[in-house]
């Protein structure tokens, strides 16, 4: 299995631009998580989906952030407009139902907003 796939791996953009991060979960996993990691705040859960349905988006920082999961094999996290404080590493993770909560993380997308 290829594991969780994220793209792009690195993104540099200017303040005010739209940014879209992409994630392909492991085949057969039915839960998907988006996290943000910074030195100051550690690993924060932004949103998670179960069977493509958003279950908890309480970690989404503000309306500039949105996430979608149109099917079981693809999810996006969009930031519009981006701000310098959004600079972080964004991770996607997936979990197979009944697997006792082991989440498999992707390699992350390092986002820099200038």
Q: Does 50 bind other proteins (CB under 8 A)?
A: yes
Q: How far apart are CA 110 and CA 64, in angstroms?
A: 18
66-105 positions binding other proteins, by CB under 8 A:
91, 93, 95, 100-105
Instruction: Name which of 44 and 81 has its Cβ closer to other proteins.
Output: 44
**Smallest gap, in angstroms, from Cβ of residue 28 to other proteins?**
15
Near other proteins by CB under 8 A, which window of 12-20, 41-49, 71-79, 80-88?
A: 41-49
CA 76 to chain centre: 7
Q: Does 63 bind other proteins (CB under 8 A)?
A: no
Cβ-contact 22, 75 below 8 angstroms? yes
The CA-CA-CA angle for residues 108, 111, 113, to 5°, reads 170
């Amino acid at each position: 299995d290829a594991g969780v796939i994220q793209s792009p791996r690195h993104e540099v953009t200017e303040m005010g631009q739209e940014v879209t991060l992409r994630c392909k979960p492991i085949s057969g996993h039915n839960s998907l998580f988006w996290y943000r990691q910074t030195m100051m705040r550690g690993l924060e859960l932004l949103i998670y989906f179960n069977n493509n349905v958003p279950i908890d988006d309480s970690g989404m920082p503000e309306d500039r952030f949105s996430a979608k999961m149109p099917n079981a094999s693809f999810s996006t996290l969009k930031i519009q407009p981006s701000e310098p404080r959004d600079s972080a590493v964004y991770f996607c993770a997936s979990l197979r139902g009944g697997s006792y909560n082991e989440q498999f993380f992707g390699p992350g997308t390092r986002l820099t907003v200038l």
